[in-house]
Amino acid sequence: MIGCAAVLAVVPLALGSIIALFMTDAPVGSSLIVATMPAAITFVSALLLAASDKARHRSNINSVRKLLLSRNQVDDAAFCLYFSDADPEMLTLTREGIALLFGVPSACIHPTDQLDPDLRFTSLEPAFHTSVTFHVLAKCCEIEAPFTFRSHRVSDVATLAKEISRILKRLRNVSDTSSDDNG
């Protein structure tokens, strides 16, 4: 967090230094203050914004965790039966990924859960889909390639599992093409 804030402060420091060069009549101390003040303000602002964002993220995670832990648990078989047209393995892996994100047993994730508002998907983006997608991909394959997640397509655990399945199929195709090129 401090490193990112420092990187953000480099440009204001450079601009402040350029402005200070044109202050020929000002004492050296004043020129130095003019040179460093924009960088200091940017650095502190970036730290405050990052801390605020982290606190909001933690609050959302804790709120959902509390809700999930207060419920009756649903086993994998009953969970998968709810979604007749979805791949049970992908559903189970997606459910595990969501549970890991919130630090709860996967049985706390119900089939009726909506990503928004139940699991606060939008508030936790991009951490939500990134965490869950990488969990599933790590369990299914060892393919490292960029992918595009289409969050507008997801509304519940089944549609999230389908989107991750789409990514997995695409990555497997990319891997097959790369193998063909190397062979």
Q: What is the mean pLDDT of residues 99-127?
A: 93
180 pLDDT higher than 60: no
Per-residue pLDDT for 13 more than 60? yes
Q: Residue 156: helix, strand or coil by DSSP?
A: strand
**For residue 172, pLDDT beyond 70:** yes
pLDDT digits (tens, 9 = 90+) for 29-65: 887 887 788 878 888 888 888 899 999 999 999 999 9
User: What is the tens place of the pLDDT at every residue in 119-134?
Assistant: 999 999 888 988 998 8
Residue 183 has pLDDT above 60, yes or no: no
Burial of 181 (C-beta count, 10 Å sphere; 0-12/13-18/19+)? exposed
**How much is the average pLDDT of 153-179?**
82
CB 20 within 8 A of CB 13: no
The reported pLDDT for the residue numbered 93 is 94
pLDDT at residue 101 greater than cutoff 60: yes
pLDDT of 174 above 90? no
Total-model pTM: 0.75
Report DSSP state, residue 121.
T
Mean pLDDT of the chain: 85
Please name the residue that has the structure tokens 């399945």.
165
| Residue located via tokens 């940017």 | 42
pLDDT in the model for residue 36: 82
- Give the per-residue pLDDT at 120: 93
Give the tokens for residue 86: 């979805």
Locus of tokens 């832990």:
69
